[in-house]
Structures are given as structure tokens and as C-alpha cells.
Amino acid sequence: MDLIQTVIWALVALGILVSFHEFGHFLVARLCGVKVLRFSVGFGRRLFSRYDRHGTEFAISAIPLGGYVKMLDEREGPVAAHELNQAFNRKSVWARIAIAAAGPAANFLLAIVLFWIVFMGGTAGPVPVVDSVKPGSIAEAAGLESGQEIIAVDGEATPTWQALNWRLANRLGDSGSIEFSVRYPDSNLEYHMAADIDRWLAGQEVPDPLGEIGLGLWTPPISMTLHKVVEGSAASAAGLRAGDKIVATDGRIFSGWEEWSQYVRARAGEPLQVEVERQGQRLTLPVTPAQVTLDSGERVGQIGVQPVTERWPEDRVRVFHYGVAGALSQGVQETWDKTLFTLNSLKKLIFGQLSTKNLSGPITIAKVAGTSAERGWQSFLSLLALLSISLGVLNLLPIPVLDGGHLLYYGIEAVKGSPVSERVQVIGLQVGMALVLCIMGLALYNDILRL
């Protein structure tokens, strides 16, 4: 996907998330009788605006990195006597709490709706059946064997690869033990086993839970026949075509695609003699793999080809269909699970159980948004739901300048019966702003390093 499409999808995602968040504040403010002066998506110079019959300006601004709702407030300027009853600062502390909490609440509601739509369309995923176990790995220590289906991790069901990955990701940075429940084909007997972990993958910049645990899951055999040759790649320049069958390379015959792929990856910049079969004829083509740098920093060779893959057998894919009510219930559960996962990950970041290199900023979000859009509407909506949950959780953190900071002040006011002093609020605002800028700077720094 090119840069322009990536930026467009990122702006679409950000625009939807910000609009819903701010609409939550806007709607509850209106319900509480507060006059809203401006509803803006973006900051800075206004590119477009219009007014409604209540005098509220709806605007789209030049810097698309957030948004805001500006309400009538005596602390920000003089208020006419006849409008004092519509000023935010004149409302009860409970009304102000409701208005501040409405933004994050809107994000959680949006996540539920998005997951609801995804589940109504039905979902599917490959069954996590063990194909290989890496010697000396956690999987081997637990006693996992080829042919077993992993049906649960730590008592939580893992019906698909995605579910297994999420359960393992939830243990990143933990110490203790990971418990697996497995069964063999054509058997209802369950076996339970465990392996010890100690600050598992705590320092990993881009953790790969499934790979690091030492599991190779079963996939259909990959053919040595090429399905696609990327335009402008080393393979394309060498004359390789879709439909070519790789017979040998440098005179060596390989057992399968994975072995051949590893051979190419290890030879960036080295000329290779690739022998292929094309329409019954044997051809030998010189190909020099280009050197590419992965997100992990590893440099590998790549020629730009994709193989033909066999279809998945029906018994190795789980398909889930939900009715309207069932999809809604699943959407609520998914939102709850991902919220707990986000909170758990934040806790681990704070206490050093996860590397701060896992923080991502707008560049990474843009790339992921573009990739998910390429994969289809369900993938894009699922990403939007996850981002919406993250936005809701982050805004509830008790940091001044965020909704959670305002809720903290209002909570103190509700308990002590009087507002937090202006001096404390100003100091909190300065500290909160500095903290948020540091976090944003670190996330952007991580993004740039990944480039």
C-alpha cells in the first residue's frame, strides 16, 4: 500500500475515534444544560466550520491529531448574566463528572458496536495444532508434542491461532508458570501441563509470544511454485514469473519452501543461481537478493516472491456464526477482555515488566491502519475497536490535561465539598502536560527507530 493510501486510512481511523470521543463530551454536556461553543476535529487553524441553531460551531481544523469540545466557562472568559446557568463551572460536580467521563465511555461504546458488526459478519481462524516444538523451549519444558491441539492457556479457551496469541501476549513480562491444556486428534481426553517463566520477554522490543515459546503451528504445505512475483523486485528483474516452480538453487535441492526461504534470507547481496521449471522447460536465472531490515533490526535477503499455498482442510479451521444478540454479547465480552489486556499492559510498562520500546505513535498506527484496510473491512473495524479501547483507557488515566485528571479533581471535590485550589490545578496541568509530551515524544521516537 502506498504512502498516500496509508495516510488516508490513518486519517479516517483517527477522525472516527476523535469524533466519537468528543461527541460523548458534547452530547452529555448538552444533556446537562451546558452551552457548547465549539466542537472541533483537529487543532489549529479551522479549515471548515458551520453553526447550528444553538450557536455551536462545528469545525474541522488543520492539525488532525485530536480534537476538543469548548464549553461556556467563566474561567476562560466573561459570561453574560443570562447565560450563567449554561456555564460548565456552574454545574454540579456530578454533572461535570458525567461530562468528563462521557468521552472515554463513547470510545468503549464504539468498540462494542464495531466488534458487534464484525461478529455479525462471522469470524474464522485456524485451529492451533502443534506441528513442531523447538528444543530447549518453554513449549518443550511444558511437554507439548506435535499433533496436539492447544485448547486453553491458563484456563482460557484458545479455539484459534489469534486467541492463542492473545492469551500468550497477556503473559508478557510475567513470572510464574504458563499452563497449557491440550488434547490429541480424535480424543476428548484433556491433558494439563505447565512450564515456568521468569519476566518472560520483558526486554523484547517486538515480542513474538508464539515464536519465543518455541511452537510451530500446523499450516497447509507450501508449494515451491510461485504465486506472485512483486513488480520491481529482484525476482522480477531476474525474469522470474508467477507459475514458475523452483527446482534448485546454486545446485542444491531443498526439502520445502521454508528451507529455501531461509537460504535466500541468509544471502543478501549474494548472486544466486535459481533453477526453475516453466511450462516443462528448465531455466537457470541469476538472482541477487536485496537487503531489507525487519522491525526487529535484523537484516535479511529478499527477492520478492510469494508461493502457492494449499487450501486449509475444513477440520483445521473454526468458523463462528452469531445472531444479532449473540454478536452483541460477544462484542461486549471482547471489549471487556481487550480493556483488561490494555490495563494489564499499562501496569507492566509502569513497573518495568514490558519494554517502553513497545510504545507506538502515529507513524506505527498509520502503517497498521493501512495494512488492516488492505486485509478487509473486518480487519479494519477490529483495529478501530482496539484503538478506541486504547484511547478510552488512556484518557481515564489520572493525569491532569486528560479526562482522568479532571475526574480525579472532581472526585476530590465531591468528597471534600469544595474544588481543588487553582494553584494545585495549575501545577497539575503543567506536570500533566510535561508527562503527556514525554510519552508522545517517546512513542514518536520508537516509530522513527522502526523506520
pLDDT, tens digit (0-9, with 9 covering 90-100), for 286-301: 999 998 887 667 889 9
Alpha-carbon distance of 6 to 444, in angstroms, equals 17
Active site residue 22: yes
- So what's the pLDDT on residue 63? 83
Answer yes or no: is 56 within a domain.
Answer: no
Q: Do 281 and 302 reside in the same domain of the chain? A: yes
Among 285, 320, 355, the domain-final residue is 320
Largest CA distance in the chain: 90
| Long-range CB contacts (within 8 A, 24+) of 308-311 | 308/222, 308/223, 308/225, 308/226, 308/227, 309/219, 309/220, 309/222, 309/223, 309/227, 310/220, 310/221, 310/222, 310/223, 311/220
Supply angle C-alpha 166, 169, 170, rounded to 5. 90
pLDDT of the residue at 451: 62
Claim to verify: residue 115 and residue 263 sit in the same structural domain: no
Same domain? 338 vs 450: yes
Q: Which of 442, 444, 434 is nearest to 405 (CA)?
A: 434
Are 365 and 441 in the same domain?
A: yes
Per-position b or e across 309-344, b if 16+ CB within 10 A of its CB: eeeeeeeeebeeebeeeebbebbeebbeebbebbeb
Q: Is the dihedral of CA 425, 431, 433, 436 positive or negative?
A: negative
Q: Pick from 320, 349, 379: which residue ends a domain?
A: 320
Decide if 272 is inside a domain: yes
Give the pLDDT of residue 125.
92
Closest CA to 335 of 375, 374, 391: 391
Residue 162's H or E segment, with its range, is helix 161-169
Backbone angles phi, psi at 167, to 5 degrees: -65, -40
Q: What is the CATH number of the domain that holds 197?
A: 2.30.42.10
Rounded to the nearest 5 degrees, what angle is found at the Cα of 188, between the Cα atoms of 183 and 190?
45
Strand partners, 130: 217
Domain that includes residue 244, residue range: 222-308
Which residues have C-beta within 8 Å of that of residue 363, sequence separation ≥ 6?
Answer: 444, 447, 448, 450, 451
Instruction: Give the active site residue among 22, 149, 275, 334.
Output: 22
Instruction: Please report whether residue 227 resides in a domain.
Output: yes
Going by C-alpha positions, the residue among 143, 144, 139, 151 that lies closest to residue 188 is 151
**Pairwise CA distance, residues 289 & 50, whole Å:** 55
328 & 447 share domain = yes
Say if residue 358 is in the same domain as residue 430.
yes
pLDDT at 65: 75
Q: Which grid cell is 46? A: 479551522
pLDDT of residue 296: 64
> Do the domain assignments include residue 230?
yes
Answer yes or no: do 137 and 200 share one domain. yes
Q: What is the pLDDT along the chain (451 residues), one digit of tens a residue?
A: 467 777 788 888 888 898 999 999 999 999 999 999 999 998 888 999 999 998 999 999 988 878 899 999 988 889 898 989 999 999 999 999 999 999 999 999 999 999 999 999 999 999 999 999 999 999 999 999 999 999 999 999 999 999 999 999 899 889 999 999 999 988 889 999 998 988 888 877 777 888 888 899 998 888 899 999 999 999 999 999 999 999 999 999 998 898 999 999 999 999 999 999 999 899 999 999 998 887 667 889 999 999 988 888 888 999 999 999 999 999 999 999 999 999 998 888 888 887 777 777 777 777 777 778 778 888 899 999 999 999 999 999 998 888 999 999 999 999 988 888 888 888 888 888 888 888 878 777 776 776 6
Statement to judge: residues 299 and 413 lie in one domain: no
Residue 57 placed within a domain: no
Tell whether 288 is covered by a domain: yes
Name the nearest CA neighbour of 163 among 116, 114, 210, 115.
210
Q: Is 144 strand, coil or helix?
A: coil
Helices (H) and strands (E) in the chain, counts: 12, 17
Crossing angle for the helix pair 324-350 and 377-395, to the nearest 10 degrees: 50
Instruction: Find the Cα–Cα–Cα–Cα dihedral 267, 273, 277, 283, rounded to 10°.
Output: 160
Let me know if residue 14 belongs to a domain. Answer: no
> Parallel, antiparallel, or unpaired: how do β-strands 245-249 and 272-278 relate?
antiparallel
Out of 297, 320, 343, pick the residue that ends a domain: 320
**d(Cα 360, Cα 243) in Å, to the nearest integer?**
39
Tell me if 69 is assigned to some domain: no
Count structural domains, the chain. Answer: 3
Identify whether residues 333 and 446 lie together within a single domain: yes
Tell me what pLDDT residue 339 has.
95
Query: Are both 396 and 438 inside the same structural domain?
Result: yes
Q: What is the pLDDT of residue 388?
A: 94
Asked whether residue 337 falls in the same domain as residue 437, the answer is yes
3-state secondary structure of 302: strand
> Could you identify the residue written with the cell 479516517?
12
Of the candidates 125, 133, 129, which has an alpha carbon nearest to the alpha carbon of residue 150? 129
- Same domain (yes/no): 244, 287: yes
